[in-house]
Structure 1
């Protein structure tokens, strides 16, 4: 009997261009990232990750230049036993920024626009383990004041320069003063608010196992079959960690995994 789990594809579409990220779940705790240029019809196979990703807590930035993903609780005695959310540059998992999120499942994050992002459940910047995102800034909830009536700020205290509609939408999703219970899953709520843009693109495509199809009425036209894609070690071109044999460096989520 073949007990090998069926492969599955998860699709994430940029809303400002034809870039897309494909996550391939090849097996339990084995994922691959692929960058898809829908206009050119090309695919760039990227890194593999030997962790368990929560596909519902992943998101591509509107311009397709960054990808946010969430890794669930891992194996005991592992340096990364807690869950974490990371931001990378597709099609690579190597983290540009990484946020430890403890043992509580369901916390992730979301892109507010091309230059700003939100991380669920974290009170301040101290939870960030690595940070190499000069073109991205994290938005946190601060105290409303003159010049910052929303209370939305960057981690250095400056008002977050979000578009008015984005700021209003985010403030409406935040828990109100005195509200009890866990913070909301901001990413899920944010995605629901913008679902129309993504749904229109998703409706054009379908997946079955490791195969990607284009919908043509009631018919499906095969675009690409990833069923035979196999693990191979890949180093991200922006990875500045020391090569093997160099001096020890701080722990990184891809150490020994990609």
Structure 2
């Protein structure tokens, strides 16, 4: 019997598909992304990283295809120390389609307004790398802060629209915008599990009839494995 403490599981559910992403952490800097089909209760193990991922600063796109996360790494990338960074990747991989290096851990990470638009906390800064189509960064000064020469508006005032990096208004469906703003403001918070599932000691359970717990998978035995993403991107 292993004396290693149980791993930690954080789960993010897609609003449009029966899919979820599980972040399996343990030890602290060993994190694996796992795709969960919540209809068939099947799992696809994805990529591991060896750096800190802040679970409360992550988000899954509404169609479950992309993941936004905030991490901290003391590894070198492009010849410089990365520190804190926000990134967007394809599920179930961490390899970044775009990465925003902040340096500190004060950042919020990205939030998906819908399946294609990612709310970016730094869009007012110069040099924000573009996302591959059809993904797009959007921004609003009331979401995460404003440029140094602007006065921040009250955070409890909800925006009526978001803008692209070009400054033009983003084309977001009213229903998607309404759903996103129901949880306004988009500040970091731990993911909440629905009532039909629970986690305990590194195990995932589905809640059956009369509250009976049905074990879906024990993630404790998983070990770090070097896995490459099937697409090009930035590896941290």
TM-score scaled by structure 1? 0.72
CA distance in 2, matches of 1:169, 1:126: 27
Aligned partner of 1:232 among 201, 225, 229: 225
Equivalent in the alignment of 2:147: none
Query: Structure 1 167/210 Cα, relative in aligned 2: closer, same or farther at 3 Å?
Result: closer
Equivalent in the alignment of 1:137: 136
CA distance in 1, matches of 2:196, 2:51: 30
- The structure with the largest strand share of the pair is 2
Q: Flag as ranges the 4+ runs of structure 1 deviating above 4 A.
A: 167-170
1:161 aligns with 2:171: yes
1:133 deviation in Å? 2.0
CA distance in 1, matches of 2:28, 2:180: 36
Equivalent pair of 1:6/1:27 in contact (CA under 8 Å): no
Secondary structure, aligned partner of 2:56: helix
- The structure with the largest helix share of the pair is 1
Equivalent residue pairs, number: 214
1:11-30 → structure 2 map (5 Å cutoff): 11-30=11-30
Q: Deviations over 1:124-145 (max 9, x none)?
A: 35133xx4421111112379xx
CA distance in 2, matches of 1:126, 1:93: 22
TM-score scaled by structure 2? 0.78
CA distance in 2, matches of 1:238, 1:86: 15
Cα RMSD (Å) of the superposition?
3.0
CA distance in 1, matches of 2:111, 2:127: 19
CA distance in 2, matches of 1:94, 1:125: 23
Gaps of 5+ in 1: 144-148, 174-184, 192-197, 241-251
Secondary structure, aligned partner of 1:56: helix
Gaps of 5+ in 2: 142-149, 151-158
